[in-house]
Amino acid sequence: MGRWSAAIDPAWLHHEERPTAARLALQWLGTAGFRVVFGEGGAEHHVWLDPHLSRHSLAEVALTRLRPNLQRIAADVDRADAVAVGHAHFDHAIDAPEIARRFDARLYGSASMMEIARGYGTPEALLRPLVPGVTVNDGPCSLTAYRSQHSRFAFGRVPAPGDVKAPLRWPAHAKNFRVGEVLALHLAGGPLTVAHLGSADLIEAELEGVQADVVLACTVGRQATPNFTHRMIDALQPQLIVPCQWDRFWRPIDAPPLQIPTNDLEGFLAEVRRHPRAPDIKVLPLRGWLTLA
C-alpha cells in the first residue's frame, strides 16, 4: 500500500465489541472525536472529547451554514456526563453544544467554545471555561487543559484564526468557528491517564512534568510540525498511541474510512515504531472501542 494511499489496510485496525465492565475504555467516532468511559465502581461516567458526528459533506462545509445533525447525534450518543473541546474549529466544536444541552452535560473548553455554545442556547449553568493548568473534577475524572498550538498545515497558517468573541449566530459558516485558544486535554482519575491532542502540534514547555499513559493524537497536518511524532512521545511518554483525525471526516460514518489525502498514517506508524520508547499503537475503525483497563 503506497505512502499516499487513501485506503486503510484492514490489518491495521483493532476490532473490539463495546465493553460492558471496563474500568476505563474509549471509543473513536472519527475526526478527533472520542468518548472516554470511566467505569470504576460499576457506575459509568462518559466524557466526550471533540465530538464530531455531523460529518457534513465538503460541499456543505464550503457552501452552506452548518448546524449539528441531530439524527447523527441521537444515533451515536446514548449518554454524556461531560464534553471537553480542545479547539473551536467546526470539526471539533460543532456538536458539543447540542450534546451538552441534550444530556445536561457540563461543557468544557476555551472562551471561544463557550461563545459557540452560548449562541446555540446551551444553558449557561453547563458552561465551564477551562483555565490552562487548573484541574477540574468531573465525577471520577480529573480534567486539566494545557496550552497547546494548532498545526500550521494550511500554507504555513492556521485556518480560521482568532477567537469567537460573541455568541455565535447559528447556523454558521465553517469559517466562523474560529480556532480560539488551543488546548491539550489531560484526563486523570482512572487507572490510566489519557491525553488528547486535537491538532498535530504541542508546546513542550507547557507539558513539563505531564505524563500520559495513552495519547489520542491527531495525525493530519503533522508534516507541518517539525518532528511532531517524536516530540509528542518525548513530552508525554505514553505506553499507547491512538491516532485520530486521519479519516476523511466529510464522508458518512457508515462508509469505509479513507485517509485524508495528505495524512500518511503509514508514515506516522513507522515514526512511532522508530522511537526508542516504541509505544504500542491502536488504530481504531470508526465507532471502534478499546478497553484500556
CA–centroid distance for 106 within its chain: 17
Confirm if 157 and 176 have CB atoms less than 8 A apart.
Answer: no
Interacting residue with Zn ion among 72, 89, 196, 282 (CB under 5 A): 89
Residues 118-137 within binding reach of Zn ion (CB under 5 A): none
Q: Kindly tell me which of 173 and 275 has the beta carbon lying closer to Zn ion.
A: 173
Start-to-end CA distance of the chain, whole Å, equals 33
Q: Kindly tell me which of 25 and 117 has the beta carbon lying closer to Zn ion.
A: 117
Does residue 106 bind Zn ion (CB under 5 A)? no
Q: Kindly tell me which of 89 and 178 has the beta carbon lying closer to Zn ion.
A: 89
For residue 96, the surrounding DSSP H or E stretch is: helix 96-103
Cis peptide before 123 (omega within 30 of 0): no
From the CB of 78, what's the least distance to Zn ion, in Å? 27
For residue 239, the surrounding DSSP H or E stretch is: none
* Grid cell listed for 80: 454524556
Beta-carbon contacts of 100 under 8 Å, excluding residues fewer than 6 positions away, are: 80, 83, 106, 107, 117, 122, 126
Q: Kindly tell me which of 46 and 89 has the beta carbon lying closer to Zn ion.
A: 89
Beta-carbon contacts of 178 under 8 Å, excluding residues fewer than 6 positions away, are: 88, 89, 112, 160, 161, 162, 163, 164
From the CB of 87, what's the least distance to Zn ion, in Å? 5
Total binding residues toward Zn ion, as defined by CB under 5 A: 1
Longest dimension (CA), the chain: 50
Q: Kindly tell me which of 89 and 248 has the beta carbon lying closer to Zn ion.
A: 89
Confirm if 118 and 107 have CB atoms less than 8 A apart.
Answer: no
Residue closest to Zn ion (Cβ): 89
Of 205, 207, 196, 200, nearest in space to 227 by CA? 200
24 three-state secondary structure: strand
From the CB of 244, what's the least distance to Zn ion, in Å? 12
From the CB of 43, what's the least distance to Zn ion, in Å? 34
From the CB of 47, what's the least distance to Zn ion, in Å? 20
Q: Binding marks (x or -) toward Zn ion, 45..84, rule CB under 5 A? A: ----------------------------------------
Q: Kindly tell me which of 103 and 268 has the beta carbon lying closer to Zn ion.
A: 268
From the CB of 211, what's the least distance to Zn ion, in Å? 25
The stretch among 3-11, 39-47, 59-67, 88-96 that binds Zn ion (CB under 5 A) is: 88-96
The stretch among 87-95, 102-110, 209-217, 269-277 that binds Zn ion (CB under 5 A) is: 87-95
Q: Kindly tell me which of 218 and 236 has the beta carbon lying closer to Zn ion.
A: 218
Residues that bind Zn ion (CB under 5 A): 89
